[in-house]
Amino acid sequence: METINRDLQAVFDWIDGHREAAIRDLQRLVQQPSVSAQGIGLEECADLVATLMETAGLPCQVEQTPGGPPCIFGHLRSGRSTKTLLLYSHYDVQPVEPLDLWSHPPYGGVVAGGRLWGRGASDNKSGVLAFIVAAAAWRETVGEPPVSLKFIIEGEEEIGSIHLGPLIAARPELVRADAMHCLDGGVDPSAMVPDIDLGLKSVLFVELVARGAKSDIHSLNAPLVPQPAWDLVRALNTLVDSDRRILMKIGTKTCGNLVRRRMRSLPRMLRALI
Ligand SMILES: [Zn+2]
């Protein structure tokens, strides 16, 4: 534990000593538009993220999602452990309209009142840069990280990562890891520290379609004709049980198992790191 504390102090000191450079890099990221919903600036922002990673000494590669924006993958190997931690974040942002509600230009990256203002300054360009700097700080001071680190920094989180799936399905080794940490979170405004949510789960959309008669029919035919409303009620009741446990099946695994497996990833990640 003493060694870990000493290592961490060296890392923190390096970060403090490079604070101004990190702020300038965050300004560069914020000043680069990258609106996935409007297809603005995504290639340029992906190139900038890759440049920042390479400058920080983090090996990375830019991969094109089929029909979507580029995605950056990084891999910082460690011989100290066989475990790998995957760090997820995104470089795209929400649209900036309406412009008249901004107190500072959305792509200005202005530092005022002790804060950096601009679209994506929090969600999620600060997350992207914070972990690039943290990984670089560890590498510069301690050397190899305690576990291997993989990065995935995608460009369409704000519209549901619609083109990411096929790339990951074709190249699973890019994200294969023992645990994952999502860098996409908010900041506690009172303490001004990043939130870390435990047990973060993803979203699964399900569309249920029930069909019945094509035209109005008399109720006396009810026993004979399918009734879509009741079919949907019964179908909804098969999605979760009375304790809200997920009952749906994906292949041979239930969604609940997938959710539990993801929830286990954080303790595994922490155990691997200590
Ligand atoms: Zn986000």
Identify whether the C-beta of residue 40 lies closer than 8 Å to the C-beta of residue 97. Answer: no
Distance, CA of 226 to CA of 211 (rounded, Å): 8
* Cα-to-centroid distance, 175 and ligand 1 (Å): 19
Task: Kindly tell me if the per-residue pLDDT of 181 is higher than 90.
Answer: no
* Cα-to-centroid distance, 167 and ligand 1 (Å): 20
* Cα-to-centroid distance, 238 and ligand 1 (Å): 32
* Cα-to-centroid distance, 152 and ligand 1 (Å): 13
What one-character DSSP code corresponds to residue 90? E
Residue type present at position 160: G
Task: Kindly tell me if the per-residue pLDDT of 182 is higher than 50.
Answer: yes
* Cα-to-centroid distance, 93 and ligand 1 (Å): 8
Question: What six digits make up the tokens of 170?
Answer: 């074709």
Task: Kindly tell me if the per-residue pLDDT of 201 is higher than 90.
Answer: no
Identify whether the C-beta of residue 108 lies closer than 8 Å to the C-beta of residue 98. Answer: no
What are the backbone angles phi and psi of residue 131, rounded to the nearest 5°? -85, -25
Angle among Cα 172, 177, 181 to the nearest 5 degrees reads 115
Q: What is the average pLDDT score of the chain?
A: 87
CB atoms under 10 Å from CB of 64, counted, come to 13
Q: Structure pTM?
A: 0.75
Question: What six digits make up the tokens of 232?
Answer: 């949907």
Q: Which residue has the higher pLDDT, 192 or 222?
A: 222
Packed helices 2-17 and 19-31: angle between N→C axes, nearest 10 degrees: 60
* Cα-to-centroid distance, 89 and ligand 1 (Å): 7
The length of the chain in residues reads 274
Collapsing DSSP to helix, strand or coil, 213 comes out as: coil
Residue type present at position 39: G
pLDDT tens-digit series, residues 138-168 = 999 999 999 999 999 999 999 989 999 999 9
* Cα-to-centroid distance, 124 and ligand 1 (Å): 5
* Cα-to-centroid distance, 92 and ligand 1 (Å): 8
The mean pLDDT of 92-104, rounded to a whole number, is 96
Sign of CA dihedral 66, 175, 141, 184: positive
* Cα-to-centroid distance, 184 and ligand 1 (Å): 5
Percentage of residues of the chain with pLDDT beyond 70: 88
* Cα-to-centroid distance, 157 and ligand 1 (Å): 7
* Cα-to-centroid distance, 128 and ligand 1 (Å): 10
Q: How confident is the model at residue 82 (pLDDT cuts 50, 70, 90)?
A: very high
Whole-number pLDDT of residue 250: 60
* Cα-to-centroid distance, 46 and ligand 1 (Å): 16
Distance, CA of 26 to CA of 33 (rounded, Å): 13
Work out the end-to-end distance of the chain between its first and last CA atoms, rounded to an integer number of angstroms.
8
Whole-number pLDDT of residue 155: 97
Give how far Cα 144 sits from Cα of 7, 125, 136, 138, Å: 11, 25, 10, 7
* Cα-to-centroid distance, 158 and ligand 1 (Å): 7
Q: How confident is the model at residue 16 (pLDDT cuts 50, 70, 90)?
A: very high
* Cα-to-centroid distance, 162 and ligand 1 (Å): 15
Identify whether the C-beta of residue 145 lies closer than 8 Å to the C-beta of residue 153. Answer: no
Closest among 102, 91, 107 to 27, alpha carbons compared:
107
* Cα-to-centroid distance, 239 and ligand 1 (Å): 28
* Cα-to-centroid distance, 200 and ligand 1 (Å): 13
Whole-number pLDDT of residue 185: 72
Whole-number pLDDT of residue 1: 62
Task: Kindly tell me if the per-residue pLDDT of 257 is higher than 70.
Answer: no
